[in-house]
Amino acid sequence: MSPTAVANATDVRDLLLTSLVPSQTNRRFQRNEDADRQMLESIKVRGVIQPIVARPKGDLYEIVCGHRRFEFSGKAGRKTIPAVVRELTDLEALELQNIENLHREDLDIFDRALAAQDLVEAYRTAGEKNAIAKACEKLQFKDRTFYNLISLTKLCEAAQSRVREGTLPMSLAYEVAREPVLGQARILKYIQDEEKSWRTPSVRQVKEFIQ
């Protein structure tokens, strides 16, 4: 689901960059320098292809989706940016933000997990009885896939570093994340000890060790 799909193409208008303000609920994720460079060069040459989504905020407009496009439009020397302007509640705005983030191909897996958790918390705050089911339905995720994703928000920094380095398979990371943070170091040490023998333990072996 693309955030701009919520609006008809006829809703697009050009807004002055000076009339836009960032959203306070937009999470700052880790940046990919190559992706940022490509976006800047693209905007310099072709302008912004996909309109941002904004909502009225007093005399100005608050950016709901498209903060990077807004940022790089300024760096590219643009004065305006195409935008879909919608009247959105706080929940609707947060929902769109997190759906867009979860569909970004360049987003770090742990940032995706945080975006998914943010969406769940937004539904809980709104009084949704089964917030996780609601998020799965909205994102069209299978329950297991979604549970695995948000479990990564509980993964200790050492395990996160190993995942980013590619030395801890995601299948094992999910198992580690299910344990309390204090117990995760013990599991990581077991995995490392096994790797010293030139073998990475299986999910079954890790589960048996945890038990």
For residue range 126-168, list pLDDT tens digits in order: 899 999 999 998 888 888 999 999 999 999 999 999 999 888 9
Average pLDDT over every residue of 171-196: 90
What is the rounded distance in angstroms from the CA atom of residue 179 to the CA atom of residue 145? 18
pTM for the model: 0.75
Stated as kind and residue range, the H or E segment containing 52 is strand 52-57
Say yes or no to pLDDT of 5 above 60.
Answer: no
pLDDT at 29: 66
Residue 2 has pLDDT above 50, yes or no: no
The H-assigned helical ranges of the chain are: 33-46, 67-75, 90-102, 109-125, 131-139, 143-151, 157-165, 170-177, 181-196, 203-210
Greatest mean pLDDT among 24-33, 79-88, 114-123 lies in 79-88
Distance of CA 13 to the CA centre of its chain: 27
Which pLDDT score, from 0 to 100, does residue 82 have? 96
Mean pLDDT of 65-76: 94
Instruction: Give the model's confidence band at 33: pLDDT under 50 very low, under 70 low, under 90 confident, else very high.
Output: confident
Is the per-residue pLDDT at 64 higher than 90?
Answer: yes
Average pLDDT in the 198-207 region?
Answer: 86
Using the predicted structure, report yes or no on whether residue 28 has a pLDDT greater than 80: no
